[in-house]
Amino acid sequence: MKLGLVPHLINWFPAPVEAVPVLSRGEGRALRPGDEFTALTWNIQYAASHRYTFFYDDGPTVAVPAEVVHETLAAIAGVLREVDADLVLLQEVDRGARRTAGIDELALLWDKLDYPQWAGCAYHRSAYVPKPLREPMGRVEMWMVSFSRLAIQRAERRALVALQEPWIVRRFNLKRAILSAQVGGLRLANVHLSAFANGDGTVPKQIAALKAWMGEGPNWLVGGDFNALPPRDDPARLGRWAKEYADTTPPLAELLPDVGSAIPLERLLLPENRSYLPPGAQEPDRVLDYLFHSPSVEVLESRVLKIAPWISDHLPVWGRFRYHGS
Protein backbone atom coordinates (compact mmCIF):
# COMPACT_ATOMS: atom_id res chain seq x y z
CA MET A 1 0.00 0.00 0.00
CA LYS A 2 1.47 3.37 -1.02
CA LEU A 3 0.99 5.91 1.75
CA GLY A 4 2.84 8.74 0.04
CA LEU A 5 5.76 10.73 1.38
CA VAL A 6 5.26 14.33 2.40
CA PRO A 7 7.35 16.81 0.39
CA HIS A 8 9.11 19.38 2.56
CA LEU A 9 11.56 22.24 2.40
CA ILE A 10 15.04 22.10 3.84
CA ASN A 11 13.78 22.90 7.35
CA TRP A 12 10.55 22.05 9.12
CA PHE A 13 8.93 23.94 11.95
CA PRO A 14 5.89 22.07 13.31
CA ALA A 15 3.15 23.86 15.22
CA PRO A 16 2.90 23.35 19.01
CA VAL A 17 -0.18 21.14 18.50
CA GLU A 18 -1.25 19.56 15.21
CA ALA A 19 -4.01 17.10 14.41
CA VAL A 20 -2.68 14.03 12.61
CA PRO A 21 -4.75 11.68 10.46
CA VAL A 22 -5.83 8.23 11.55
CA LEU A 23 -5.46 5.80 8.64
CA SER A 24 -7.85 2.86 8.50
CA ARG A 25 -8.40 -0.22 6.37
CA GLY A 26 -10.97 -1.74 8.70
CA GLU A 27 -12.67 -1.16 12.00
CA GLY A 28 -10.80 -1.42 15.28
CA ARG A 29 -12.64 -3.02 18.14
CA ALA A 30 -14.13 -0.90 20.90
CA LEU A 31 -12.32 -0.78 24.25
CA ARG A 32 -14.80 -1.21 27.10
CA PRO A 33 -14.39 -1.23 30.89
CA GLY A 34 -13.22 -4.67 32.01
CA ASP A 35 -11.54 -5.46 28.67
CA GLU A 36 -8.03 -6.85 28.50
CA PHE A 37 -5.55 -5.55 25.93
CA THR A 38 -1.85 -5.87 25.19
CA ALA A 39 0.68 -3.19 24.27
CA LEU A 40 4.25 -3.13 23.01
CA THR A 41 6.73 -0.26 22.68
CA TRP A 42 9.85 -0.57 20.54
CA ASN A 43 12.52 1.76 19.18
CA ILE A 44 13.40 -0.05 15.95
CA GLN A 45 16.57 1.99 15.20
CA TYR A 46 15.16 2.97 11.78
CA ALA A 47 15.51 -0.66 10.61
CA ALA A 48 19.22 -0.16 9.96
CA SER A 49 20.10 -3.13 12.22
CA HIS A 50 22.35 -3.31 15.25
CA ARG A 51 25.25 -4.71 13.22
CA TYR A 52 26.71 -1.24 12.66
CA THR A 53 28.12 1.50 14.85
CA PHE A 54 26.73 4.82 13.65
CA PHE A 55 28.46 8.18 13.55
CA TYR A 56 26.54 9.64 16.51
CA ASP A 57 28.00 6.80 18.62
CA ASP A 58 31.49 7.60 17.30
CA GLY A 59 31.32 4.89 14.66
CA PRO A 60 31.94 4.98 10.89
CA THR A 61 28.43 4.26 9.56
CA VAL A 62 25.99 6.88 8.24
CA ALA A 63 23.87 4.88 5.78
CA VAL A 64 23.11 1.20 5.16
CA PRO A 65 22.21 -0.70 1.96
CA ALA A 66 18.62 -1.38 0.92
CA GLU A 67 19.01 -5.14 1.46
CA VAL A 68 19.89 -4.54 5.13
CA VAL A 69 16.78 -2.41 5.61
CA HIS A 70 14.53 -5.00 3.96
CA GLU A 71 16.04 -7.84 6.01
CA THR A 72 15.62 -5.87 9.25
CA LEU A 73 12.06 -4.81 8.44
CA ALA A 74 11.16 -8.44 7.74
CA ALA A 75 12.56 -9.43 11.14
CA ILE A 76 10.70 -6.59 12.89
CA ALA A 77 7.44 -7.57 11.19
CA GLY A 78 8.02 -11.20 12.19
CA VAL A 79 8.37 -10.23 15.85
CA LEU A 80 5.26 -8.03 15.72
CA ARG A 81 3.19 -10.77 14.04
CA GLU A 82 4.29 -13.32 16.63
CA VAL A 83 3.58 -11.07 19.62
CA ASP A 84 0.35 -9.74 18.07
CA ALA A 85 -0.10 -6.90 20.57
CA ASP A 86 -3.29 -4.83 20.36
CA LEU A 87 -1.29 -1.60 20.52
CA VAL A 88 2.17 -1.26 18.96
CA LEU A 89 4.13 1.93 19.64
CA LEU A 90 7.17 2.27 17.38
CA GLN A 91 9.87 4.91 17.42
CA GLU A 92 12.48 5.68 14.73
CA VAL A 93 10.52 4.65 11.65
CA ASP A 94 12.23 6.09 8.56
CA ARG A 95 10.25 7.27 5.55
CA GLY A 96 12.35 7.98 2.49
CA ALA A 97 15.56 8.83 4.36
CA ARG A 98 18.88 8.64 2.56
CA ARG A 99 20.47 6.67 5.41
CA THR A 100 18.00 3.80 4.85
CA ALA A 101 18.10 3.76 1.03
CA GLY A 102 15.05 5.99 0.59
CA ILE A 103 12.70 3.21 1.76
CA ASP A 104 9.30 4.07 3.24
CA GLU A 105 9.48 1.76 6.24
CA LEU A 106 6.01 2.69 7.46
CA ALA A 107 4.43 1.66 4.16
CA LEU A 108 6.29 -1.67 4.15
CA LEU A 109 5.37 -2.45 7.77
CA TRP A 110 1.74 -1.53 7.07
CA ASP A 111 1.76 -4.03 4.20
CA LYS A 112 3.45 -6.77 6.25
CA LEU A 113 1.06 -6.44 9.22
CA ASP A 114 -2.72 -6.67 9.49
CA TYR A 115 -3.56 -3.85 11.89
CA PRO A 116 -6.76 -2.03 10.92
CA GLN A 117 -5.57 1.43 12.01
CA TRP A 118 -2.52 3.56 12.64
CA ALA A 119 -1.62 7.11 13.56
CA GLY A 120 1.82 8.64 13.25
CA CYS A 121 3.84 11.84 13.11
CA ALA A 122 7.28 13.00 12.05
CA TYR A 123 9.85 14.15 14.57
CA HIS A 124 12.90 14.53 12.33
CA ARG A 125 12.31 15.98 8.88
CA SER A 126 14.73 17.80 6.64
CA ALA A 127 15.45 17.77 2.92
CA TYR A 128 19.16 17.88 3.74
CA VAL A 129 21.07 17.37 7.00
CA PRO A 130 24.72 18.44 6.48
CA LYS A 131 26.24 16.29 9.23
CA PRO A 132 28.55 14.48 9.51
CA LEU A 133 30.66 16.61 7.18
CA ARG A 134 32.56 13.59 5.85
CA GLU A 135 29.30 12.01 4.61
CA PRO A 136 26.19 14.17 5.13
CA MET A 137 23.00 12.38 6.11
CA GLY A 138 21.06 14.25 3.43
CA ARG A 139 17.31 13.74 3.40
CA VAL A 140 15.82 12.62 6.73
CA GLU A 141 12.23 11.70 7.59
CA MET A 142 11.69 9.82 10.86
CA TRP A 143 8.35 9.06 12.51
CA MET A 144 6.70 7.67 15.60
CA VAL A 145 3.89 5.29 14.66
CA SER A 146 1.11 3.66 16.71
CA PHE A 147 -0.56 0.61 15.16
CA SER A 148 -3.85 -0.43 16.76
CA ARG A 149 -6.39 -3.23 16.81
CA LEU A 150 -8.49 -0.96 19.04
CA ALA A 151 -10.58 1.81 17.51
CA ILE A 152 -8.71 5.14 17.34
CA GLN A 153 -11.04 8.13 17.27
CA ARG A 154 -8.46 10.92 16.75
CA ALA A 155 -4.78 11.71 17.14
CA GLU A 156 -2.51 14.72 17.49
CA ARG A 157 1.14 15.75 17.66
CA ARG A 158 2.26 17.85 20.63
CA ALA A 159 5.66 19.49 20.34
CA LEU A 160 8.23 19.07 23.13
CA VAL A 161 11.08 21.39 24.07
CA ALA A 162 14.30 20.92 22.08
CA LEU A 163 17.85 20.36 23.25
CA GLN A 164 19.81 23.43 24.32
CA GLU A 165 21.85 23.63 21.13
CA PRO A 166 22.98 26.46 18.87
CA TRP A 167 20.20 27.94 16.75
CA ILE A 168 21.59 26.61 13.48
CA VAL A 169 21.86 23.06 14.86
CA ARG A 170 18.25 23.11 16.10
CA ARG A 171 17.07 23.95 12.58
CA PHE A 172 18.33 20.58 11.33
CA ASN A 173 17.94 18.43 14.42
CA LEU A 174 15.07 16.36 15.83
CA LYS A 175 11.79 18.02 16.80
CA ARG A 176 10.63 15.80 19.67
CA ALA A 177 6.91 15.35 20.33
CA ILE A 178 4.13 13.40 22.02
CA LEU A 179 2.04 11.34 19.58
CA SER A 180 -1.31 11.30 21.37
CA ALA A 181 -4.27 9.13 20.31
CA GLN A 182 -7.75 8.65 21.71
CA VAL A 183 -8.64 4.94 21.92
CA GLY A 184 -12.17 4.79 23.29
CA GLY A 185 -11.94 6.18 26.81
CA LEU A 186 -8.17 5.57 26.92
CA ARG A 187 -5.62 8.19 25.91
CA LEU A 188 -2.48 6.71 24.38
CA ALA A 189 0.89 8.48 24.13
CA ASN A 190 3.89 7.39 22.09
CA VAL A 191 7.13 9.23 22.93
CA HIS A 192 10.83 9.33 22.18
CA LEU A 193 12.58 11.83 24.44
CA SER A 194 15.90 13.51 23.72
CA ALA A 195 19.17 11.61 23.59
CA PHE A 196 22.58 13.17 24.19
CA ALA A 197 21.10 15.77 26.54
CA ASN A 198 24.09 15.33 28.89
CA GLY A 199 22.16 16.76 31.82
CA ASP A 200 21.20 20.05 30.13
CA GLY A 201 17.67 19.92 31.62
CA THR A 202 15.86 19.04 28.40
CA VAL A 203 14.61 15.58 29.40
CA PRO A 204 13.15 16.82 32.73
CA LYS A 205 11.26 19.52 30.81
CA GLN A 206 9.95 16.94 28.33
CA ILE A 207 8.84 14.69 31.19
CA ALA A 208 7.10 17.65 32.84
CA ALA A 209 5.15 18.21 29.60
CA LEU A 210 4.24 14.52 29.51
CA LYS A 211 3.15 14.68 33.15
CA ALA A 212 0.87 17.61 32.24
CA TRP A 213 -0.60 15.47 29.43
CA MET A 214 -1.23 12.68 31.93
CA GLY A 215 -3.07 15.13 34.18
CA GLU A 216 -5.62 15.98 31.50
CA GLY A 217 -7.68 12.87 32.16
CA PRO A 218 -7.87 9.75 34.33
CA ASN A 219 -7.35 6.97 31.75
CA TRP A 220 -4.07 6.72 29.87
CA LEU A 221 -1.16 4.57 28.75
CA VAL A 222 2.27 5.91 27.74
CA GLY A 223 4.99 3.98 25.97
CA GLY A 224 8.30 4.85 24.42
CA ASP A 225 12.02 5.47 24.61
CA PHE A 226 12.59 7.95 27.44
CA ASN A 227 16.39 8.13 27.18
CA ALA A 228 16.38 8.18 30.99
CA LEU A 229 17.49 5.64 33.57
CA PRO A 230 15.23 4.41 36.36
CA PRO A 231 15.63 6.25 39.64
CA ARG A 232 18.31 4.65 41.85
CA ASP A 233 20.27 3.36 38.83
CA ASP A 234 23.77 4.84 39.09
CA PRO A 235 24.94 6.25 35.72
CA ALA A 236 28.57 5.86 36.82
CA ARG A 237 28.35 2.11 36.18
CA LEU A 238 28.01 2.88 32.44
CA GLY A 239 31.49 4.31 32.10
CA ARG A 240 31.84 6.61 29.10
CA TRP A 241 28.07 6.67 28.62
CA ALA A 242 27.45 8.10 32.10
CA LYS A 243 27.61 11.74 30.93
CA GLU A 244 24.44 11.24 28.90
CA TYR A 245 22.47 10.87 32.14
CA ALA A 246 24.05 13.71 34.10
CA ASP A 247 20.91 15.48 35.40
CA THR A 248 21.29 16.35 39.08
CA THR A 249 17.98 14.60 39.82
CA PRO A 250 17.01 11.56 37.69
CA PRO A 251 14.34 12.86 35.28
CA LEU A 252 12.03 9.90 35.89
CA ALA A 253 11.94 10.70 39.59
CA GLU A 254 9.26 13.22 38.56
CA LEU A 255 7.05 10.30 37.47
CA LEU A 256 8.06 7.30 39.58
CA PRO A 257 6.66 6.12 41.90
CA ASP A 258 3.71 8.52 41.41
CA VAL A 259 2.54 6.80 38.21
CA GLY A 260 2.27 3.11 37.45
CA SER A 261 4.99 1.28 35.55
CA ALA A 262 4.15 -1.94 33.71
CA ILE A 263 7.47 -3.28 34.97
CA PRO A 264 7.49 -2.13 38.63
CA LEU A 265 10.25 0.17 39.82
CA GLU A 266 11.96 -2.50 41.94
CA ARG A 267 12.12 -4.81 38.91
CA LEU A 268 13.45 -2.10 36.60
CA LEU A 269 16.79 -2.33 38.37
CA LEU A 270 17.19 -6.03 37.52
CA PRO A 271 19.42 -6.92 34.54
CA GLU A 272 16.62 -9.01 33.00
CA ASN A 273 14.59 -5.84 32.40
CA ARG A 274 17.26 -3.82 30.62
CA SER A 275 16.22 -2.78 27.12
CA TYR A 276 19.08 -0.85 25.46
CA LEU A 277 22.15 -2.40 23.83
CA PRO A 278 25.14 -0.08 23.30
CA PRO A 279 27.10 -0.39 20.04
CA GLY A 280 28.51 -3.86 19.54
CA ALA A 281 26.80 -5.33 22.61
CA GLN A 282 24.89 -8.62 22.54
CA GLU A 283 23.17 -7.95 25.88
CA PRO A 284 21.39 -4.79 27.10
CA ASP A 285 23.08 -2.77 29.84
CA ARG A 286 20.39 -0.23 30.84
CA VAL A 287 16.66 0.52 30.90
CA LEU A 288 15.52 3.31 28.57
CA ASP A 289 12.13 2.01 27.39
CA TYR A 290 8.95 2.02 29.48
CA LEU A 291 5.20 1.48 29.58
CA PHE A 292 3.53 3.77 32.14
CA HIS A 293 -0.16 3.64 33.05
CA SER A 294 -2.87 5.43 35.01
CA PRO A 295 -4.59 3.83 38.06
CA SER A 296 -7.52 2.82 35.84
CA VAL A 297 -5.21 0.50 33.85
CA GLU A 298 -4.30 -2.70 35.71
CA VAL A 299 -1.10 -4.56 34.83
CA LEU A 300 -1.64 -8.31 34.46
CA GLU A 301 1.85 -9.20 33.22
CA SER A 302 4.84 -7.50 31.62
CA ARG A 303 8.32 -8.20 30.34
CA VAL A 304 11.16 -7.15 28.07
CA LEU A 305 11.10 -9.39 25.00
CA LYS A 306 14.34 -11.24 24.35
CA ILE A 307 14.75 -11.06 20.58
CA ALA A 308 17.73 -11.32 18.25
CA PRO A 309 20.14 -8.53 19.27
CA TRP A 310 21.06 -7.73 15.67
CA ILE A 311 17.63 -6.25 14.90
CA SER A 312 17.81 -3.02 16.91
CA ASP A 313 19.71 -1.34 19.72
CA HIS A 314 16.51 -1.55 21.77
CA LEU A 315 14.45 -4.53 22.89
CA PRO A 316 10.64 -4.34 22.90
CA VAL A 317 8.76 -3.87 26.17
CA TRP A 318 5.40 -5.69 26.35
CA GLY A 319 2.50 -5.69 28.77
CA ARG A 320 -0.95 -7.18 29.22
CA PHE A 321 -3.48 -4.92 30.88
CA ARG A 322 -7.10 -4.64 32.00
CA TYR A 323 -8.94 -1.38 31.42
CA HIS A 324 -11.10 -0.16 34.30
CA GLY A 325 -11.95 3.31 33.01
CA SER A 326 -15.36 4.65 32.16
pLDDT exceeds 70 at position 8: no
CA distance 194 to 176: 7
pLDDT single digits (tens) 15-53: 999 999 999 999 999 999 999 999 999 999 999 999 999
- Name the region of 206 (left: φ>0; alpha: ψ -120 to 50; beta: rest): alpha
* Domain, as residue range, for 223: 17-323
Q: Is residue 6 part of a domain?
A: no
Q: Which residues contact 29 (CB under 8 A, 6 or more apart)?
A: 149, 150, 151
Check residues 285 and 2 and name the one with the higher pLDDT.
Answer: 285
Q: Is residue 55 part of a domain?
A: yes
Q: Is residue 7 part of a domain?
A: no
CA distance 277 to 300: 27
The alpha carbon torsion through 243, 239, 274, 50 (nearest 10 deg) reads: 90
Q: Is residue 8 part of a domain?
A: no
pTM listed for this prediction: 0.96
Q: Which residues contact 175 (CB under 8 A, 6 or more apart)?
A: 12, 13, 14, 122, 123, 124, 125, 159, 162
pLDDT single digits (tens) 150-178: 999 999 999 999 998 888 888 899 999 99
Count of domains observed in the chain = 1
DSSP secondary structure code for residue 101 in this structure: T
Q: Is residue 158 part of a domain?
A: yes
pLDDT single digits (tens) 199-238: 999 999 999 999 999 999 999 999 999 999 999 999 999 9
CATH of residue 87: 3.60.10.10
Percentage above 70 pLDDT, the chain: 97
Q: Is residue 11 part of a domain?
A: no
Q: What is the pLDDT of residue 167?
A: 84
CA distance 175 to 165: 12
Q: What are the two backbone dihedrals, phi and then psi, of residue 283, each rounded to the nearest 5 degrees?
A: -130, 145
Q: Which residues contact 40 (CB under 8 A, 6 or more apart)?
A: 80, 83, 85, 87, 88, 89, 223, 305, 316, 317, 318, 319
Q: Is residue 190 part of a domain?
A: yes
pLDDT single digits (tens) 64-109: 999 999 999 999 999 999 999 999 999 999 999 999 999 999 999 9
Q: Comparing C-alpha atoms, which of 23, 96, 107, 41 is closest to residue 73?
A: 107
CB 148 within 8 A of CB 87: yes
Q: What is the pLDDT of residue 1?
A: 42
Q: Is residue 9 part of a domain?
A: no
Instruction: List Cα–Cα distances, 233 to 8, 167, 268, 310, in angstroms.
Output: 41, 33, 9, 26
The alpha carbon torsion through 261, 263, 264, 267 (nearest 10 deg) reads: -150
